[in-house]
Structure 1
């Protein structure tokens, strides 16, 4: 996939520059050690114009991620949101995926950075896992122990774990992986949170060993609005393989239904699941087709 061309503009440390004219430092601490933080944000074309979904929540999490790994974050969030809208306008993007990245300067030492840069880019991107029901495999890789790295932060280096899990799953003929935590509990996908349905109720792993997804929080809010019972609890693989249905959620993924986990096929027809209801409602929400100001 081509993410930019000769005319693409990105935002870099307060300036708008052509992507093709920018470069990365080969001695950067972020390149050598994965010492950077990022966000994934979506903008949608709505009847109210181009709207960035939950922009403030995403930039606040970006700041929190930086703080958790001691990367300086000196930018004003209101200005970053304004500049992101300007970036979309300059590139004539109405439906887009937005990627802010906070990265560190040259350093070969293993100590916290004293300064950092910020880059924001955007491109057109369909739902990350597509629109078909997914065949998923329980990964042999585990999510990192939260005592080894802050799991609640979107740290670039943490995603080597995600690459390994997804690569393994695809090599076995699956669409995506599902990782467990160090206790054998269901954690999340390489880039998305998971919900399962049983007897009309939704279940999802609690915070602690997973990324606190903004889409995950939105799904929980939608459940409260739609009077769907939602329970946060530790889930085993056995729970997973006795569920009626399941789905992944995330900014890049949006809401993606799961057909099967390993050899187990979920018995409910997707269109009749709670997940399908959430999928339709989420789509209406991000496109501002209904009155959901309470959670925007």
Structure 2
């Protein structure tokens, strides 16, 4: 596969990213020298948790929620991050300051279990503290992502049971999402729509999925997807605005008959979905999606002041 990212993760290239400084365990490195060991748990096993963050008007939006999810995930996999949330927040802002970044910035915050003395899965062969990497980039979604409408394709790759690998963990182990993404791309779609083990709609491979039916907004139960920050904010916005919103089981039949659909994520916020499996839902952006986008932008502004 070749080409650039599609769907909500299409972005505007920014030449300033060639000169960014990346934080590796608190030390700043130029892009080409920012590396981790081949013995790092993240490289060997995908053993770790991560967050995607947006910077708006100098503030990392919804940072408290992101850090809560990060530390809960680390606790769930019995990994000591080695910094308090307050210390990690200071490191994040120090990295932004070193890069003179104030707006239009996306951060990938990654924490792995750290170095191993030999390539093996058992955490008891780990040596030293967790590895903490902060990659900030000048990165804005392409403007058309807010209006043109994505195409989704339902893939055979399922979001699995929690006793196999709990989908609530925002872990580095993303192979099921990657294989879903590949299948959707091969089918000519922007992103994959994934079902849960029972055949109900769960989520997309890198965003959360919503439909609009007769003025109601539906999303999955959340049992088979990470607890999305933007997903949660959108549910709050619906309730504040008096829009009926439900976290429930629903099938592809409900999706194909919906009036509108959209996805949510930290990078692009709210993006409309125009077609699923070749069924046209809307020509671009529908009225409910447009209203929610405006409410979300207003919420971002409030969070950044």
Structure 1-normalised TM-score?
A: 0.89
Among 97, 113, 119, the residue aligned to 1:89? 97
Q: Establish whether residue 16 from structure 1 lines up as the match of residue 16 from structure 2.
A: no
Partner of 2:123: 112
CA contact (8 A) 2:17 2:138 kept: no
CA distances 1:107-158 after superposition (whole Å, capped 9, x unpaired) = 422223653121111102223893320111111111122111121111111x
Give ranges in structure 1 of 5+ residues lacking alignment.
none
Partner of 2:209: 194
Partner of 1:177: 192
CA contact (8 A) 1:136 1:177 kept: yes
Partner of 1:282: 296
Structure 2 residue matching 1:99: 3-state secondary structure: strand
Aligned equivalents of 1:169, 1:20: Cα separation in 2: 32
CA drift of 1:216 comes to 0.6
Aligned equivalents of 1:72, 1:229: Cα separation in 2: 40
Partner of 1:243: 258
The within-5 A match list for 1:33-44 is 33-44=45-56
Partner of 2:149: 133
CA contact (8 A) 1:187 1:205 kept: yes
Aligned equivalents of 1:4, 1:139: Cα separation in 2: 37
**Change beyond 3 A, Cα 1:194–1:116:** same
Among 168, 180, 192, the residue aligned to 1:165? 180
Partner of 1:123: 137
Q: Establish whether residue 78 from structure 1 lines up as the match of residue 86 from structure 2.
A: yes
Partner of 1:145: 161
**Change beyond 3 A, Cα 1:251–1:173:** same
Return 9-18 or 227-236, whichever deviates more: 9-18
CA drift of 1:2 comes to 8.1
Q: Establish whether residue 52 from structure 1 lines up as the match of residue 52 from structure 2.
A: no
**Change beyond 3 A, Cα 1:41–1:5:** closer
Structure 1 residue matching 2:157: 3-state secondary structure: strand
Aligned length: 285
Among 63, 69, 83, the residue aligned to 2:71? 63
Aligned equivalents of 1:150, 1:72: Cα separation in 2: 19
CA distances 1:259-280 after superposition (whole Å, capped 9, x unpaired) = 01112111587242x2221112
CA distances 1:158-199 after superposition (whole Å, capped 9, x unpaired) = x11111111211111111110001111101011111111111
Structure 2-normalised TM-score?
A: 0.86
Return 11-20 or 92-101, whichever deviates more: 11-20
CA contact (8 A) 1:3 1:123 kept: no
